[in-house]
Chain A
Amino acid sequence: MHAIYEIISGPMVWLAFGIFILGSLYRLFSMGRLALKKDAVVFSYMSIYYALRSIVHWIVPFASVNMRKHPVMTLVAFVFHICLFVVPIFLFAHIIMIHEAWQINWVYIPNLAADVMTLAVIGACIFFFCRRLILPEVRYLTTYSDFLILAGVAAPFITGFWSFHQYPGHVAAGILHILSGEIILVMIPFTRLSHMLFFPFTRGYAGSEFGGVRNAKDW
């Protein structure tokens, strides 16, 4: 057990972050190059002002018509995405480890808050899961990979909660936690999770065409 722990909490962390960062850069650069080659218009029409105008309307809760039409989905989606980033970055236990390794640290959130947020992420995953099964328009679009991705996102949170609260089997849960965290990092650039990387560009481009060429709003 210890040997496994050594590997996944040592070299594999480096590997996972390496693949995540380099993979993301690669995806962005290669997409940019492809755009340069085949969709040069994208660069002509892209406008920082209109791109930001659109992005702001889509990252502020309820700032677009469609968000107001689906209040529950909007609420869950925002809570989910915010917690998804806040918990791993500002978790006390994570910061401690980084502090031990490099003597740097930053603000952390109280454990109780982290617990609530973790449960929120898990709850949101269950919500998305049910949505995929129940709503016909979502079900029709859903593929097995969508469920895998959902499971991939939920796993580090479930196992993290498990190991933090020292439930039976928490040692194994701890190992699974690190492992699933690494897997999700590696998945980001190469699956639909890459929407995290491309969102500013697809949204920004829609905003640029709507604003710059068509003199219209897109929210």
Chain B
Amino acid sequence: MKAPAEKSFEEKKKIHDKGIEEGAAQLTQEKVHQVVQQMLSAEGGARLKAYIETCSHCGLCSEACHYYLSNDNNPIYSPAGKVKQTIGEIVKKKGKVSVDFIKEACEISFTECNLCRRCVMYCPFGIDVAYMMLFMRRICHKLGVVPQYIQDTAHSHSATLNQMWVKEDEWIDTLQWQEEEAQDEFPDLRIPIEKEGADIFYSVIGPEPKFRAQLIYQMAVIMYASGADWTMPATPGWDNSDMCMYTGDVEMVARLKKVHFETAMRLKNKRIVMGECGHAFRSVHDVGNRFLGWKMAPLPVVHAIEFYYELLRDRKIRIKNKLSQPVTFHDPCNIVRGRGLHEMGRYVINETCKTFIEMHPNREHNFCCAAGGGVINCGPPFRNKRVTGNRVKADQLAEAKKKGAEIVIAPCHNCHGGLEDIIKHYELGMELKFLGDILYEVMEK
């Protein structure tokens, strides 16, 4: 049936992306049919079928999605609405869709859904729209129609096993450089490289050595002050991030996670501690293991929040002076809906900050930052859509600011990127920090 909203769907501004355009230019109608049908029969299993057939078109998932809410309740942005325009249509037409359709579906699945899974908690049937959007992305990947920026990142993963084309010597140099910097403050501090049998295998995401080396410095100080037995590897496998998980390249996902796990196991480390990143945690804890055929990761995987929580709980780190500026906390989907770390996050904040102001809704019901799920990695062409598509987050932040919050804590790299753009665009004038920034600032060193 022709709903009024379909008009705005047609009018939606087309965004030009080289990866999508040039990928689509290589395709013919026949090729699309062939690849899509092959995908449906090879990988379109019971989950896809049950989800599509069970959805009773009730629309109750709509208000779960920040894109829907931020775009004045436009139904084309509702979770089920996005399914209808993408994989739903593909299943209905048994794969007989056009090249133009694929371009549109690519843009929707890559840049209008953060795979944040909030809608699963709003659909009475627990239909996982993120799963279906990922299925759509996988079809796009197979067709070679993927936004250029994120595909470049995926290429970097394939070529270097890290996200940022960091070469092996650059990696080691960065660690040694941070060690030297830190030794100015703490002469006997070390960043132990390749230490066999250490308790902790510490891994980070590619952008840390590239753009935010001070985070490695901070963690080194935290490890030093708490007396942790830790190490970082000198070989590929140090990067725990995973954009291939978001481009639908599951073969690469398996390769990346295998190297990461095997590096920790080669060093006989007892557990993996990861920096403050949501998507990397998702890939290690929830996704990569599946494609490797393991139910769970082969050794314990601990996100930074949980690690800080342990340090504070066990009094391995002591706090000098709590932070005096009032803070608020953004719950990153991938470690809250993805791991239930929200209470530990609050524990760490209450131990380190004087005044904590909640945003609403929070915990499992938080709104995503709209950067996640690889959306921010699709780059500048989609930036405006991403920022205007998350007005509700800006409202949440503004509300917290009104109550006095000056600092937003977001323990996830993607969230940082997303929230930074939102804070700038909506002129919120709030400061953004990692939990580690705060812990480093207030701890006894």
Contacts and interface: CB of A to CB of B under 8 A. Distances in A.
A39 interface: yes
Contacts of A65: 121-122, 365
Given A136-B4, A136-B75, A140-B81, A214 B45 contact: no
Given A136-B3, A143-B1, A195-B56, A42 B46 contact: yes
B128 A35 contact: no
Interface stretch (A14-22, A66-74, A112-120, A158-166): A66-74
Interface stretch (A95-103, A173-181, A201-209): A201-209
B59 A135 contact: yes
Contact of A215 (B55, B73, B128, B340): B340
Interface string B1-13: 1011110000000
A13 B339 CA distance: 51
B53 A219 contact: no
A141 B290 CA distance: 32
19 contacts: A31-B50, A32-B46, A34-B49, A39-B46, A41-B290, A42-B47, A66-B121, A136-B75, A138-B59, A139-B5, A140-B5, A141-B75, A142-B57, A146-B57, A203-B126, A215-B340, A216-B336, A218-B121, A219-B121
- Which of A34, A65, A202 has the most chain B CB within a 10 Å cutoff? A202
Main SS of the interface on chain A?
helix
Interface string B32-60: 00000000000111110111011111111
B8 to A, nearest CB: 10
A202 B126 contact: yes
B120 A137 contact: no
A51 to B, nearest CB: 10
B122 A142 contact: no
A143 B49 CA distance: 18
Interface residues of A, number: 51
B231 interface: no
Contact of B125 (A132, A142, A198, A213): A198
A32 B45 CA distance: 10
Given A140-B5, A141-B57, A143-B57, 5 more contacts: A65-B121, A137-B73, A141-B81, A206-B125, A218-B121
A201 B50 contact: yes
A140 B49 contact: no
B3 A140 contact: yes
Given A31-B50, A58-B124, A146-B57, A140 B84 contact: yes
A127 interface: no
B6 A44 contact: no
Contacts of A199: 54, 124-125
A137 B78 contact: yes
A218 B5 contact: no
Contacts of A58: 124, 126
Contacts of A70: 60
A38 B43 contact: yes
B76 interface: yes
Given A73-B60, A199-B125, A206-B126, A141 B80 contact: yes
A8 B372 CA distance: 57
